[in-house]
Every structure is written in C-alpha cells, then in structure tokens.
Structure 1
Amino acid sequence: MSDLVSIITPAYNAANYIADMIESVLAQTYTEWELLITDDCSTDNTVDIVRSYAAQDTRIKLFRLEANSGAGVARNNSIREARGRYIAFCDSDDLWKPCKLERQIAFMSEKGYKFVYTKSDVIDTAGNVIAINERVPRVSYRSTMIVNYIGTTTVMYDTEGIGKFYMQNVRKRQDWLLWIDILRVTRYAYCLPERLSSWRSGNEGSLSSDKSSLFRYHLMIYRDYLGFPAPVAFLMCYGVSLPCFMVKKIRHRLINYLYSHGGRYQ
C-alpha cells in the first residue's frame, strides 16, 4: 500500500481561488493523500466551497478556527490532524501540477531524502505563467538562516524518522522558521529540479503578497527566535541577509529575462 501524504492548507477569504487549488489536488496521479484545510474565520464563502468538495471526496477535510489567528496557527491545526507519513503544503491560492506528489515521493524514495522542495512557476491572478522560481540544488541550516530558497507550496518532508514539525507562533515568516527547525535535524534540504507547482503573485489576499515588513520580521526572528544578541541580529539581518536577498532577486530577474526572451515559460 502506498504511503499517505497529508496536504496542509490554511484558508482565509480564499473563495476566488480555493476551488482551483482543490481541483489541482484532485488531479494528482498519486492518489493516497488527505487534504486538510483549516479555515481561519473567513467572511466570504470559502467554507461553503470546501464543504461542497468534502461532501464528494472523503479525503478532503475541513477544520475551522474559533478566532482569526493567522496562517501559522491554521497550518499547525492541520498538521496536528495529519495522519500521513509525508507532510506537504499547498496554500489556498496556489496550484500543483498533476504529477507533483508522484514525482516528489519517487525522488525522496530513490535518494533517501527526508526534506525536499522543487522549482515552481509564478502565475498571475488569471493563472498565466509570468515567471519561474528557479532553486539552488541544496540548502543547509546555515544557508537558510541567511536567505530562504524554499517555496512553501513546493515542500514535502518525511515524518518517518524525523517526526512532525510545527510552525512558530508568529504572524509572518512562519514557513522560514519551520524550514530552519527541520534543517536542524536533517542538515540539508534537496531540490527536485522540476516545476511542479504554481505560486500565485499579485493576489491581494495572498499569504506571500506583503513584503514590506520582511526584514523587520527577520530582525525579530534573529533576535527573539534564533537567540542572537541584538547587535549580532542587526548585523545578520542588514549586513548578511539583506545583501544575499538582493543577490537572489537579481539572479531571479536575470533567469526570467532569459526565459522570457527565449519563449520558455510554457
């Protein structure tokens, strides 16, 4: 029997996109999965949409928080309910390619990896590919403390041997902290160099759309969660992480310039 994959999805006012996300999971060639959606007190009809799918497929499960608590708390609720050997993440406005789970599990099984991620497309609100998120082949605990190359919707980790991991109680950058926590145990995460998911850019409600306070949160994380003294945290944030982040962005733009001029998005 195939190993179960638990797919972790937080949802908040996701009515415009969540049906597309669910359809992309239903289209998976690997069928041993459960989709655990925790709604964070949506005020639109997100819950009604999820309920309609759950009524048709028992692999889809809906949970609801009593108070609006943020994506990290919603994800943790789904992780708590997860029964699968593998934990994967798919945000409510993102999409997976049909072979995503199949290819990723095969990659992990063949290589013996416990923590992996993939390349991804960047799509606009209409679903058109507008960029490519290329990834480095391997990241470590130390490198990820400096700059994050791991996209949430691309991740899978194997609970067999390393157990479940939960997100820290912060409103933003929970995913980055989670990768750091997992990498304390696995040492490395490895990239399957295929574009197996699509991250939606330009969505006003996207969990990843607000970058304005990125480095303020980085500074807080270095100081309060990673335990650096304040001067070291400031140096790590603005003297090391920020320059590396800028190099990452320049690399991303160069790669996508080459893709767009070569007509290679599709």
Structure 2
Amino acid sequence: MSQQIAILLASYNGEQFIREQIDSILSQSCTNWHLYIRDDNSSDDTLLIEHEYESRYPQQITVVDIPSVERGAKHNFWLLSQYVLKETDAAYIMFCDQDDVWIQSKIEDTFSAMKSAEQKFQDRRILVHTDLKVVDRNLKVLGNSFIKYRALNPSYTEINRIVVQNNVTGCTTMLSRDLLGKAFELEDVGEIAMHDWWFSLVASVFGHIVFVNKPTILYRQHGDNVVGATKVNSLSFILKRLSGNNHIKKTLHMAVDQAKVFLNTYQDIPLDDRSSLESFAKLYEYSKIQRILTLSKGHYWKQGPIQIIGEYIFI
C-alpha cells in the first residue's frame, strides 16, 4: 500500500460501536492513510461489519488474517504492527480502538505535530500523542480533557517517570516507522505490560515524545473497556487507592518487571538512562525503607499527589 499513514484497528466483539469508529476515520480531513483491521476471534458480527467496509472501501481498508493462539488487545496490536512493518512501506503508524470516535482533524493535527517534531529534533524516532475527551456510551461528555481527568502531566517524558507510570494513551498516538522498528527489537510481547507503555519507554530513551494539547478523540466509556478512564481526584478513587487496595502494588511490580525486560532487550541504552533503569529494576531486592529511599532519590514518582502518596504507602 502506498498510503503514508497506517492506522491499526484491533477489534473484539465490537459490533455495537465499530461502525461509528470506522465512519469517523473515513470522515477525516486528511486522506493519506490506510486502515488495517485485525479481529481477535469475535463471537458477534464485528468481522462481518469489517468485511462489509473493506468491500466498500478497498483502497482505504484491509482486514488482515493473522492466526495466533494469543488473545487480547496487546497481542492484537502487536501482530498488526508486525504486519505493517513487513508488508507495507507506511512511514507512520497510528493505533485505533474499536469503540471511540475520532474528531475530524485528528490525523491532520497529529501528522502536523509529527512533521514539526522531526524538523525540530532532526530525528526519525518520534512518538506524538494527544489529549482526549472522555464521553459515556452515548457520547455525552464526562470530561473535556482526559489528561486533567486522570491528573496526568504529559511534560514528564524522562525515563524515571515513564518507567513508573505511562502517560501516553495508545489510541491517540502516531509513531514514526523508525521508532516502531526499534520497539520491535523486543522478542516476546508477552513479557511486557502493554504495547503503548513499551512504545513510550522506547521513545523516552531512544527518541522523543511530543504532546498535542488538544483532544482528538471521543474516548467512550461503556463498562467493557479494556483500559478505561477513572477520575483520579474523585472521592471514590482516593478512598479506593488509600484503603488497602493492592492495585498500586500490582502496577509497581509490573513496572519493575517491564524495566528488567527493557534492560535485557537493549544493549545501546545511554548510560544515564541505563543507570536509572537498573536502580528501579532492583527495587524489590531492597527492604521497604530502602525502597522508599530509592523512589525518592531516583524521582520514580507516579503522577498526581494521591498516586504518589499511595505509591509510598504500598511500596
């Protein structure tokens, strides 16, 4: 395919919303793209709907059949990414969830930021991501800014912050082909927490992360999301995080394990970043007091005061 931008849509039992998502892509102001869809063995009519669109728009949409025993969004997006690297010459890759709606200028705004970043940094390893509007199943706005909704700070792009908590939402991203290729030095995607977090780590160490302070997606919350949006500063969130919930423990262990995988995958990590990653990767070799001191010394902090307090309590 000759289109410059490859859009990857990973689907599973998405018949309720997927038409609206694909229609929003077809309505984009930028048309220099091709949509690649892989279905993860849906039991509803999702695949039938996708083939319907493929037959109507063969120059814009391809449904790919990539057999795999692995299931889940992470594996689905990884297989699609692998396909695009091998079978297309697309220079840029975007990721698409089945149940959102893209604002009409999403591709145009993201691509513009990508080209500006390439000129600014004189680099071909760029990750661009944007804000989102959080909406309910009927597209009623719950929050005009996902970044504020989740108390995230996209200016944190250093590895000591990204390794603890990802602030990049995968369905908003555009990656340069060179960055995606670097990410694929990983041999087994099953070893990492999530594909978009891995891309963020790679961009932090080997490239650049650029944030567009503009919502480009209606991020639909409907109860079945693989990864949803919880309002971080709400009373219910605060009580849940500080009342013995083990979510923070699990995510910290996951982050430490992923740091170990990153260190094992790349031998060309710059010295300062390697030192930071090695210190974090050893976190659970220490006593609790030593873990707290390590967090403080290395600035391995989550984002938002409640998150940080919970991190220190449950480390």
Q: Same fold (TM over 0.5)?
A: yes
Structure label with greater radius of gyration: 2
Distance 1:108 1:100, change over 3 A: same
Q: Secondary structure of the equivalent of 2:302?
A: helix
TM-score (norm 1): 0.79
> Structure 2: how far apart are the matches of 1:19 and 1:133?
23
The CA RMSD over aligned residues, in Å, is 3.1
How far apart are residue 175 of structure 1 and its match?
Answer: 2.0
How far apart are residue 10 of structure 1 and its match?
Answer: 1.1
Structure 2 match to 1:203: 223
When structure 1 is superposed on structure 2, of 99-108 and 156-165 the one drifting more is 156-165
How far apart are residue 24 of structure 1 and its match?
Answer: 1.1
What does 1:66-215 correspond to in 2, within 5 Å? 66-82=68-84, 83=88, 84-112=90-118, 114-131=126-143, 132-134=145-147, 136-137=154-155, 139-160=157-178, 163=181, 165-166=183-184, 168-170=189-191, 172-186=193-207, 188-204=208-224, 206-209=225-228, 213=247, 215=249
> Structure 1: how far apart are the matches of 2:101 and 2:182?
24
Distance 1:108 1:248, change over 3 A: farther
Number of matched pairs = 246
How far apart are residue 160 of structure 1 and its match?
Answer: 4.5
Structure 1 match to 2:233: none
Instruction: Give the % identical residues.
Output: 20
> Structure 2: how far apart are the matches of 1:75 and 1:157?
13
How far apart are residue 32 of structure 1 and its match?
Answer: 1.1
> Structure 2: how far apart are the matches of 1:143 and 1:152?
17
Structure 2 match to 1:256: none
Structure 2 match to 1:62: 63
Q: Deviations over 1:154-181 (max 9, x none)?
A: 1111114773634822585332123112
> Structure 1: how far apart are the matches of 2:307 and 2:50?
35
Q: Unaligned 5+ residue runs, structure 1?
A: 251-266
When structure 1 is superposed on structure 2, of 20-29 and 58-67 the one drifting more is 58-67
Q: Secondary structure of the equivalent of 1:196?
A: strand
> Structure 2: how far apart are the matches of 1:141 and 1:36?
31
Give the strand-richer structure, 1 or 2.
1
How far apart are residue 214 of structure 1 and its match?
Answer: 6.4
Give the helix-richer structure, 1 or 2.
2
Structure 2 residue 241 is matched with structure 1 residue 222:
no
Question: Do the aligned residues in 2 keep the contact of 1:7 with 1:87 (CA within 8 Å)?
Answer: yes
Q: Unaligned 5+ residue runs, structure 2?
A: 148-152, 231-245, 264-280, 309-315
When structure 1 is superposed on structure 2, of 149-158 and 58-67 the one drifting more is 58-67
Question: Do the aligned residues in 2 keep the contact of 1:12 with 1:42 (CA within 8 Å)?
Answer: yes
Q: Deviations over 1:136-166 (max 9, x none)?
A: 3452333211222111111111114773634
> Structure 1: how far apart are the matches of 2:287 and 2:77?
27
Distance 1:133 1:51, change over 3 A: same
TM-score (norm 2): 0.68
